[in-house]
Homo-oligomer: A and B are copies of this chain.
Amino acid sequence: MQNFVLHNQTKIIFGADRISKIGHESRAFGTKALLVYGKGSIEKNGILETVLTSLRDQGMEITLHGGVQSNPLLSHVRLGIDKAKKESIEVIVAVGGGSVIDSAKAISAGTLVDHDVWKFFTGKKSIKKFLPLTCVLTLAAAGSEMNGGMVVTHDEKKLKFGTGNKLLNPAVSILDPTATYTVPATYTAYGAVDAIAHILEFYFTTEDPSTPVQDRFMEGLIINIMESCEKSLNDPHDYQGRADLMWCCTLALNGWTAAGLGLVGFPMHMIEHTLSAHHNIPHGAGLSVVLPAWLSFQAKKNPKKLNQFATRVFQVEKTDSQTDAQKGIKCLKDWFIKIGCPTTLKELKISSKEIPFLAKESLPLASIWRLKNYDAEKIEAILRGCV
């Protein structure tokens, strides 16, 4: 195990009928709130009304900032920052999934500085000040509700960059599984894939060969994500399935599993970000295509770990051969297909002719994220495994 510092201060309020607590929790930070949200879904299912009522009951003044889209855009974040500055906002309230929460974090970091918020993403400036953030989560996927990470896409440059700072951990996140009852099957499945990808990035990129506590925790989460995702797909109103999936997605990226792993990387996310920046595909759909090919690449590098994965998660018979590592990858790929996720670039309508271009476009993020082993040739090779 590697040395680590762990200090996750997000307060989690988990369960049915908890959304109306958002007013009380947000009021602790001020009265002037910027409410960040997405498109119409929370209007339709009544969550927006519940949140507005709860905030108003606490006497809060609300400035609306709706319209966040998936693969959230820098231009929309900048508009939010303008509003927050103009209205002297004291607390940001995010109601949505990862895209909404990430946009809210970028607004939180960008409001208290004079320079453009994009400089945080390119590493030219570091985050030192922030506006407090409270969240109501409506999608089990990104884990942004309990960490300091954020991903935003630069509209013109087609760069989907991520950065983070523990200052941006939400102060409070309300996780109500019933808020995800109306999430369509496709996005339920994409969310599960996203969380599995988060776990596998940690599981396979740690350079510490001995992390038994973290390994068992991560393997248990993957098994539970698969089980709860299937429950949620079979019956979108299965409370237990939705609750388990929601909590697992949070745990996949809240720092608990990563504590002790040392330096880890996000190579799959790096490649997927290029795909979704140029094709605006859902993040989870891009990941389900990249993940099996990247795992095959990792199998060559670390067959022992891949065998452990295959044995413990898919009960593939225990041996140390490459063949069995491949069986584990096949099991995961088959499961992606079973839950309706794409596993080829073709399904995403991305031509194999684009591969050299996409590999090259991934390089700036590879550099910023210090993925030293990933040059254009290697990224091309992985993408060719996705055809």
Contacts and interface: CB of A to CB of B under 8 A. Distances in A.
Nearest to A208: B240
Contact of A224 (B4, B12, B18, B216): B216
Interface in A219-261: 219-221, 223-224, 227-228, 240, 243-244, 247-248, 251, 256, 259-260
Contact of A213 (B1, B7, B13, B244): B244
Contacts of A18: 3
A73 B307 CA distance: 51
A139 to B, nearest CB: 18
Interface of A: 1-16, 18, 210, 212-213, 216-217, 219-221, 223-224, 227-228, 240, 243-244, 247-248, 251, 256, 259-260
A253 to B, nearest CB: 15
A14 B7 contact: no
13 contacts: A1-B14, A3-B14, A3-B16, A4-B14, A8-B8, A14-B260, A210-B240, A212-B224, A212-B228, A213-B220, A213-B251, A217-B217, A243-B260
Contacts of A240: 1, 210
A203 to B, nearest CB: 14
A16 B12 CA distance: 31
A9 B219 CA distance: 26
A37 to B, nearest CB: 24
Given A216-B220, A240-B210, A12 B6 contact: yes
B13 A5 contact: yes
A220 B312 CA distance: 11
B1 A11 contact: no
B248 A213 contact: yes
A258 to B, nearest CB: 12
B224 A1 contact: no
Contacts of A4: 12, 14-15
A16 B4 CA distance: 10
Contact of A7 (B11, B228, B256, B259): B11
A217 B3 CA distance: 22
Nearest to A4: B14
A216 B3 CA distance: 25
Contacts of A220: 213, 216-217, 219-220
Contacts of A216: 220-221, 223-224
B14 A6 contact: yes
Contacts of A223: 216
A102 B5 CA distance: 23
Contacts of A11: 5-7
A308 to B, nearest CB: 13
Nearest to A177: B1
A251 B224 CA distance: 19
A322 to B, nearest CB: 26
B212 A227 contact: yes
A95 B51 CA distance: 46
A213 to B, nearest CB: 5
Quick one: which of A2, A12, A216, A256 has the most chain B CB within 10 A? Answer: A216
Nearest to A246: B1
Contacts of A221: 213, 216
A248 B240 CA distance: 27
A180 to B, nearest CB: 13
